[in-house]
Amino acid sequence: MKYISILFISIVLINNITKSQNKDKYYIESKFHYGFIAQHRPTMNDLIKYSSKSIDLLIGKQTFGKKYWEQLYRYPSYGIGYYWVDLGNPSMLGNANALYFFVNIPVFYNNKYSIDYNMASGLSYLQKGNKAIGSHFNVYVNFSTNIKYRLYRNLWIVSGVGATHFSNGAIKMPNLGINLLTYRIGFKYNFKNDSIKNIVHDIPKLKNKNQIKITFGAGIKEMKPDGGHQYFVSSYVLDYCRILNHKRRIGLGFDFFHDNSLYKELEKEGYINPSANDIRRYGLHLSHELTISRLSIIFHLGIYLKSKWKEQGVVYQRAALNYRLVDNLHLNISLKTYKGIADYVEFGFAYSFLW
């Protein structure tokens, strides 16, 4: 009953919004998901009992070319959503809830059907801490591909497959993460018809082709055993990026890492009273940046130039979301990983200049 109430209230709210903003196109979409937890660690075997079942409800705004970046991405949509999942093991996992932001980018579309991919990220709450994730509050990430088919005027049927990930970024152990693979089916309802035509722009030429960016980030991480001490971590990043076009940038960067947990790790390896210099690590990385309006999705692949702690290997990765507040100042959240395992999450800011 409460899900019907949420659906009803959402429809009323969005209908009122669309009446007051005649030139904008809003929609509501709801899907049922059926799938399973992917066992990526042997220790998760006893957590996986039954299939997972979930629903999600989202409210989206369909772009039609008010800004030229919308044309570059074939007129995507974006919005907010709510996700609920029964993880298939009531006694050990329970269920999870998430609130998220999403962007939906078409690969192909016409008046009858569309093929697209969807990226979503937000905050989740897991009912029960367990041997996979030790915290209740976690990050929610979803990636899916969908096919939409118009049934009648403003009503579409939606079907697709996707992957969902829950993790706390090593803020609290354990942090093996939970990964769901699902099939989903549902409906999309547009509050306006397609009478508003997409705007086609003359894409402007690039004004600048080079960028320097300085990023600072900080966070905390917890080391094993579970429930252990939390340590302060931070990093400075210096990047040079070559701007290829309005969507993509590639670059080369230098990392400076400060990780207080390494005092303990180096002592385990026989170092006596490790110094601040002993725990500092330096690295070099390649970068790729995908820009969607003010938001950038960034990936780094790096190698350590200097690291006295060898257990994590010489290769590291970083995935980041960067939001431009004003011309040169950005908010930044990033996840540093090694061998596909989360090391820690950082929050910070960046300053950039172009020429």
User: Tens digit of pLDDT for each residue in 34-63?
Assistant: 999 988 777 787 888 899 999 999 999 999
Q: Where are the domains of the chain?
A: 2-190, 210-354
List the structure tokens of 294: 């003010």
User: Tens digit of pLDDT for each residue in 301-327?
Assistant: 999 999 999 989 999 999 999 999 998
CA dist 162 and 188 (Å) reads 17
Contact present, 317 and 301 (Cβ < 8 Å): yes
Exposure pattern of 59-74 as b/e (b: 16+ CB <10 Å)? bbbbbbeeeebbbbbe
Do domains 2-190 and 210-354 share one topology? The answer is yes
In 272-340, the DSSP E strands lie at 280-292, 295-306, 315-324, 329-338
pLDDT of residue 53: 96
State the architecture of 210-354 in CATH terms.
Beta Barrel (2.40)
In 3D, which of 253, 255, 277 has the Cα closest to residue 266? Answer: 277
CA dist 200 and 190 (Å) reads 22
User: Tens digit of pLDDT for each residue in 100-118?
Assistant: 999 999 999 988 999 999 9
| pTM across the whole model | 0.86
In 3D, which of 52, 81, 59 has the Cα closest to residue 163? Answer: 52
Query: How far apart, in Å, are the Cα atoms of 197 and each of 24, 57, 98?
Result: 11, 27, 34
Specify the fold of 2-190.
Answer: Porin (2.40.160)
